[in-house]
Amino acid sequence: MSKKSIGSWVQSANVSNCDFPIENLPFGSFIKHHNPHTSPCMGVAIGEQILNLTELQLTPSLSHGLMSPEVEALLLLFKTKNLNAYMGKPAKDHQLFRRFLIQSLMADSPLQALLSPHLVDQHDVTMLLPCTIQDYSDFYASIHHATTVGAMFRPDQPLMPNYKWIPIGYHGRASSIVPSGTPIRRPSGQTKGSGDQPPYFQPCRRLDYELELGVFIGSGNAMGSVIPMAESKEHFFGLCLLNDWSARDIQGWEYQPLGPFLAKNFASTLSPWILTQEALEPFARPFTRVETDPQPLDYLSDTVVLAKGAYDIHLETWIQTQGMKEQNLAPVKLMSSNFHESMYWSLFQLITHHASNGCNLNPGDLLGTGTMSGPQKDQAGCLLELTEGGKKPLQLPNGETRTFLENGDTIILKAFCERDGYTRIGFGECRGTITA
């Protein structure tokens, strides 16, 4: 049984299985519908509402003994309308500000009257990217995904020799990261011709989604310095959902010898809310590896960090086709899995490895986990796996089939954390619809 929430004066946060109870309080950026020409505002989700932190820092009565000077200084960071300055603060400051938010939003809080005018209904805003993302790198951290896809192309050697020794990744394109709800235009690209025929240029015919988590960097490191594993949690701000759309036919022709390029950089969709490390901590669990596998090199090992190096996160992918929309049919679930069962490398190892050569990470930088696939076939995080490369079409309840995505298809990623003794928290949705 999940623990009963501590409760909030925001009543929608007290509903059973709410994604955003007071124990969550994820950060996001938004514009109000009634005044779309104003600058973005920063806020935290609470139930079906958003506490507008950008407006709240303008409330003079809050500074009259109702908050500490340290909290007041942190609240002032939200006047910049950019979460990055707050993300770059030390973890102890994030913990301090979270305590202030929880105490302010708890049932019977003396600040209810002051804070309630700064609540905004989530239905009355357009969500934006939660922060400025200067750099984006994508990893390949699920061994189940890597093994299954590798077997399609290299049956005799699904995993390359380096996979169990080094976190594999590549640098993506930050400029094409878009918030949930943004339409995804089907890309065109060069594709291999049949036999000895030359390649041709056409719209992608094997368009796919990828269920991933996005890892946000908090405080960064100077160029030339490193982030030791023992300090990696100090640089981890939080998580969101990430759909790294993929053009499989373009990818198959271009990826040798340098890896992903135009097949991956046309669009990546983010869920709008960043769940912080503090909110995720109750769902941390030991990160372990099969004893017969090579153990990580010393720079990727730290027993204290790895003792809570994984998270219990339930992942789901849903689809609603254009035909289903026309028939007023609800989306259907394609798969479900768990984050900790999917990852071969801890997200803290990803952070440390990324900076191990002196690469400077900055507040708001995004690391993708790579496609999250569980150990079972029906836990695959993309259509390439679920349909075995398009050989076994998925049968949908309304009679349609899918090998890859068609125009009008909407993909919805969902995730939540649930454990006995703790209040359930959710990620919200990461949604995108394919257009011609």
Neighbouring CB atoms inside 10 A of 93's CB total 18
Angstrom distance (rounded) from CA 233 to CA 229: 8
**Encoded tokens for 388:** 């075995």
| Size (the chain), residues | 436
Element (H, E) at 394: strand 394-395
Q: Which of 255, 297, 349, 361 is nearest to 165 (CA)?
A: 297
DSSP per-residue letters across 123-185: GGEEE--SS----EEEE--BHHHHHHHHHHH-TT-SS-TTTTTS--EEE--GGGEEETT--EE
Torsion-angle region of 40 (φ positive above 0: left; ψ -120 to 50: alpha; else: beta)? beta
Q: Which of 144, 145, 235, 353 is catalytic?
A: 145
Terminal-residue alpha carbon distance, the chain: 46
Neighbouring CB atoms inside 10 A of 424's CB total 20
Distances, alpha carbon 409 to alpha carbons 90, 292, 326, 367, in Å: 42, 42, 12, 26
Q: Which of 433, 188, 413, 424 is nearest to 318 (CA)?
A: 413
Q: Which residues pair with 242 in a beta bridge?
A: 212, 270
CB 408 within 8 Å of CB 321: yes
To 10 degrees, what angle do helices 91-105 and 69-76 make? 100
Angle at 41 between CA 35 and CA 45, to 5 degrees: 110
DSSP per-residue letters across 143-154: HHHHHHHHHHH-
Would residue 145 show up in a list of annotated catalytic residues for this protein? yes
Catalytic residues: 145
